[in-house]
Amino acid sequence: QVQLVQSGAEVKKPGASVKVSCKASGYTFTNYAIFWVRQAPGQRLEWMGWINAGNGNTKSSQNFQGRVTITRDTSASITYMELSSLRSEDTAVYYCARDGGGVFSYYMDVWGKGTTVTVSS
């Protein structure tokens, strides 16, 4: 079945970077895009960015002021999201989700279980 398996929880200090992975299985990786979405405690879901797993094109939210980098490894069917210059407000659960429209940036039809990132000194 279609699955997205994310890497484990991380604890980071302010100013550090974190790299979260998302391994896809059960479908043709390059036929779909992957979204990254985060959810801070008690907050609404926030779109961070998107990568077309086929051609590697990316789009990131301006809210992160260039701190988000999304990449993929097609040989391993893995997508990565790196967030730099971490601050306490980046403490959140980070999700990857598949683009239900293929590569059109539509709805999110399959989600990973989430990766908790805690930023604390």
**Which positions touch other proteins (CB under 8 A)?**
35, 44-47, 59, 61, 95, 97, 100-101, 105-114
> CA of 17: how far to CAs of 8, 66, 67, in Å?
15, 13, 9
Nearer to other proteins, 25 or 74 (CB): 25
Q: How far apart are CB 20 and other proteins at their closest, in Å?
A: 14
Pairwise CA distance, residues 95 & 38, whole Å: 6
What is residue 26's DSSP assignment? S
Q: How far apart are CA 13 and CA 86, in angstroms?
A: 7
Q: Residue 3 CB, nearest distance to other proteins (Å)?
A: 12
Residue type for position 117: V
Nearer to other proteins, 73 or 109 (CB): 109
Beta carbon of residue 13, minimum distance to other proteins (angstroms, whole number): 26
Of 74 and 106, the one with the shorter C-beta distance to other proteins is 106
Least distance to other proteins, CB of residue 25, Å: 16
How many secondary structure helices (H) and strands (E) does the chain include?
0, 11
